[in-house]
Amino acid sequence: MMTPEEKLCSLGFELPPPPVPAGNYVPARITGNFLYLSGQGARQKDGSFITGRLGDGFSSEEGYQASRNAALQLLAAARQAVGELSRINAVIRIYGMTNATPDYTDHASVINGCSDLFADVFGDAGCAVRSVAGMSSLPFGMPVQIEAMFLLNACTR
């Protein structure tokens, strides 16, 4: 059985460096057997944020890819918090926000980029409860921001 890191590699993904907070907050907090992750946006290789607004020149497919990128940022933050992704027992919750025009309605398909990646990496344990919301703007002009909650193995503390 492959570890989550091996699964990511087999899918052609490499985790980026852990994201550096862009404000006064922590990227992760463990309480009991739960790992809560602050919202992450899609980033360029140099660490700067990808920018764009859905419905205003930024396509749903670009949003889907940005959502997958944000999922990688979340996994990098998770690995930094717990040491290795195999300590994650399940993805519990995803909350995805999209930066979109008022008439844009494909928010759920965009955030599927994150949900699909988590399912690819963790299998059935990667299928989480989820909420999606369209916003009039997001920090730094990012097209998506996603936060997540994971259940950790009992030995992870």
Angle at 82 between CA 80 and CA 88, to 5 degrees: 120
pLDDT band at 156 (very low <50, low <70, confident <90, very high): very low
In 3D space, the residue among 98, 57, 104, 74 whose CA is nearest the CA of residue 4 turns out to be 74
Single-letter amino acid code for the residue at 40:
Q
Residue, of 19 and 103, whose pLDDT is higher: 103
pLDDT band at 1 (very low <50, low <70, confident <90, very high): confident
What's the mean pLDDT in 1-30? Answer: 93
Q: What is the mean pLDDT of residues 59-76?
A: 98
Mean pLDDT across 24-50? 95
Residue 151, phi-psi category: left (phi > 0), alpha (psi -120 to 50), beta (remainder): beta
Residue 66 pLDDT > 80? yes
pLDDT at 157 over 60: no
Residue 49 has pLDDT above 60, yes or no: yes
Mean pLDDT of 131-148: 98
In order of 17, 19, 102, the CA distances from 75 in angstroms are 10, 10, 30
Question: What per-residue confidence (pLDDT) applies to 20?
Answer: 86
Q: What are 83-123's pLDDT values in tens digits?
A: 999 999 999 999 999 999 999 999 999 999 999 999 999 99
Give the pLDDT mean for 53-70: 98
Contact (Cβ atoms closer than 8 angstroms) between residue 54 and residue 98: yes
Predicted local confidence at residue 155, as pLDDT:
65
